[in-house]
A and B are shown apart, each in its own frame.
Chain A
Amino acid sequence: MALLEVENVAKAFGSLKAVDGVSFKVEAGEIFGIAGPNGSGKSTLFNTITGIPFGPDSGKVRFDGNEIQGLAGHAIARRGLARTFQRETCFDQLTVFENAEIGATYANEARSGAKARDAAAEALAFVGLAAPSWGRRAGELSVFERKILMLATAIASDPRMLLLDEPASSLTKPEIELSVELIRRIAARGITILLIEHVLTFLMSLSQHLLVLNQGRVLALGNPREVIAEPRVVEAYLGTRRVAA
């Protein structure tokens, strides 16, 4: 049984169908990529899965066999489905350690006190945030450090699945390489990863399955190499080739 099943999910804003009948399955332990041009509905799809800030208008989302589309965002998070945002979203006035601690404490109710602090420390060390930085406020960190702090906060909650929304955006090439390595290590911990990115090379280096969205609909789904070779995917990214008469 798939860990995540998205079935005919739709979300509209007025007359704009941001997500239009999207279906796919993610198996436990895999890295599943979602690509698509800007405005294709990738982040809206993440929103509908996590319920933050809104759920779908219609369709079903099953996590570990249970329907979650009607649940509040915090309740979905507590079931083991963690997420990061495209923009580095931390609690800026809390310390680095408190950011990770809050993930360890609330998203996983089995943990509190010393257990939560241990989990926070382990997650911070895992992503490469060294102990001397733990007392700094999150708002003082660099963009890359804030991005990996988001990951540490998510990991500290011991999720079964992690949804990453454009983790490479605003990063330099060496930082992107570090991010790729980190995502591989997260997957090696047994955490299933659903990854949005519009940079195809980034997705190709990580994903076992690739889904391409265009105008809210599934354009292609399958093996990444086969998917990016499909003419309609090339057309969605590069446009129709015009040959001069």
Chain B
Amino acid sequence: MNALADILFGGLFQGSLYAMMAVGLALVWTTIGVFNFSHGVLMMLGAYFAWQLVDWGLTAALAFPIAVLLMAGVGWVLQATVVRPLIGRANLVLVVVITTLAAGSLIENGVLELWGPRSKQIPPLVAGNAMLGGVGVSLHQIAIIVVTPIILLALWLFLNRTRLGLALRAVAQNEDAARLVGLNVTMLYGLAFAIAASLAALAGIFLGGYRFMTPVMGADPLLKALIVVVFGGISSISGPIFAAYLIGFFEAICSYYFGLYWTPALLFAALILTLMIKPEGIFASRSRGLA
């Protein structure tokens, strides 16, 4: 019973975190067709905004949503400065890798300058611990497991049941056709980046509530998000979400039976094998779209 609970809880927790990390990255790829390599730094910045607001005396319930909204603004500005001016140029994907990496480096060093290198921690979503099936877990982790599917469901409803969501799904598929039906593509690109940055901030707040935060805390989550997105398929946002939970459970099983030391190697072996058989990603179709 202990083993099952351990794997189940570990898989759900890691899967939830990976899904939150990856979904914003996938959203930007499916709408604009670029990879935002500052996505990990945006997670870090969101967590630092939340920490600063809590440090100024705001309650977590107030600080966290404000940090998420602030990050929407950061995402919009980031898109307007390092992505939008390059749209339509040759080698857009490669150029944006460089510009977003550069922007990420600037933000990272700015945070280091402003808040210093000392590690920080923000309050958990819910304080306390509990026993589940004989396994001791924090309520913060349980909150992440519960909240993540709600956020992802809200995102799905937004994309599939609202006027703006329909517009985002359209612009993801054909920019010229989108303009032709009156869609303001520039505004929609900004919106996609703003939503992605908000989702990154949420992931950062989740991370900052159970591990120490530093200005370089975004590097590992960015790598994980990239793995999830490539594994799940970069043609949609649902693929990476399923992949996130699959990887979460894969890691939970591997770390239980083979230990943490072997887990990354086994994960990469599985990833390489999967991509050899299905290069477009395990849950992907061959065309791009926000489904």
A residues neighboring B (CB under 8 Å): 50-53, 72-74, 77-78, 82-83, 85, 89-94, 98, 101-103, 105-109, 112, 139, 153-154, 157
Contact = CB atoms under 8 A, between A and B. Distances in A.
Contact of A94 (B163, B173, B182, B184): B173
Interface stretch (B58-66, B164-172, B195-203, B273-281): B164-172
Given A94-B169, A106-B167, A139-B287, A89 B182 contact: no
A50 B179 CA distance: 10
Given A89-B174, A105-B163, A73 B180 contact: yes
A92 B176 CA distance: 13
A73 B174 CA distance: 14
B179 A77 contact: yes
A101 B179 contact: no
Contact of A92 (B184, B289, B290): B289
B291 interface: yes
A148 B289 CA distance: 22
A13 B36 CA distance: 32
Nearest to B30: A93
A72 B178 CA distance: 12
B95 interface: no
A91 B180 contact: no
20 contacts: A53-B88, A72-B179, A73-B176, A74-B182, A74-B183, A77-B181, A91-B170, A91-B178, A93-B285, A93-B289, A93-B290, A94-B169, A101-B166, A102-B170, A102-B183, A106-B167, A106-B183, A107-B181, A112-B163, A139-B287
Contact of A93 (B176, B179, B182, B287): B287
Given A92-B173, A98-B166, A102-B166, A52 B180 contact: yes
Contact of A106 (B181, B186, B287): B181
Interface residues of B, number: 25
Interface string B248-291: 00000000000000000000000000000000000001011111
B186 to A, nearest CB: 8
A93 B177 CA distance: 13
B182 A108 contact: yes
Nearest to B175: A53
A174 B200 CA distance: 53
A102 B176 contact: no
Contact of A107 (B182, B289, B290): B182
B182 A106 contact: yes
B173 A93 contact: yes
Contacts of B96: none
B222 interface: no
Contacts of B181: 77, 102-103, 106-107, 153, 157
Contact of B180 (A82, A105, A108, A139): A82
Pairs of residues from A and B, 10 with the lowest C-beta to C-beta distance, nearest first: A93-B289, A107-B182, A73-B179, A106-B182, A77-B182, A78-B182, A103-B181, A89-B177, A91-B173, A74-B179
Contact of B291 (A77, A89, A93, A154): A93
Contacts of A105: 163, 166
A157 B183 CA distance: 12
Most chain A CB neighbours (cut-off 10 Å) among B173, B181, B182, B288 = B181
A91 B169 contact: yes
A91 B179 contact: no
A157 B180 CA distance: 10
Nearest to A104: B181
A203 B177 CA distance: 25
Contacts of B163: 105, 112
A120 B183 CA distance: 16
A108 to B, nearest CB: 7
B185 interface: yes
Given A74-B183, A93-B285, A102-B183, 12 more contacts: A72-B179, A73-B176, A73-B180, A74-B182, A77-B179, A89-B174, A91-B178, A92-B173, A102-B167, A105-B166, A107-B180, A112-B163
A52 B179 contact: yes
A49 B176 CA distance: 14
B76 to A, nearest CB: 18
Most chain B CB neighbours (cut-off 10 Å) among A73, A78, A153 = A73
A168 B182 CA distance: 25
A221 B167 CA distance: 40
Nearest to A153: B181
Nearest to B188: A74
Contacts of A89: 174, 176-177, 180
A93 B180 contact: no
